[in-house]
Amino acid sequence: MNSLVSLTELIIKKLVEDPDSVSVKEFDSDEDNTILIEVMVSENDMAKVIGHEGKTIGAIRTIVQAASFNQDNKQIKINVDSY
């Protein structure tokens, strides 16, 4: 597993009430210099992950993007969905 995916998973699991339901996967992006990370959480935990006006997920994106600049310098896109 990519270390950026692991970092994203670690952060998300610390935020939610049901960490066992969290799924984080990396997908191929249409853009060459981009990593797409898909996060699935339970519907009850969506608000915690997104935060008020998207501030929490924005902060997570910033942290993971900073880690990417230290590793392979790729753009990061994080999508959050529930099931």
Tally of structural domains, the chain: 1
CATH code: domain of residue 34: 3.30.300.20
At residue 40, the pLDDT reads 97
Tens digits of per-residue pLDDT, 36-74?
Answer: 999 999 999 999 999 999 999 999 999 999 999 988 888
Task: Identify the domain containing residue 26 by its residue range.
Answer: 3-82
Q: What is the pTM of this model?
A: 0.90
**If residue 55 lies in a helix (H) or strand (E), which one and from where to where?**
helix 55-71
The residue length of the chain stands at 83
Tens digits of per-residue pLDDT, 4-45?
Answer: 999 999 999 999 999 999 999 998 777 788 999 999 999 999
Answer for the pair 22, 10: CB distance below 8 angstroms, yes or no.
Answer: no
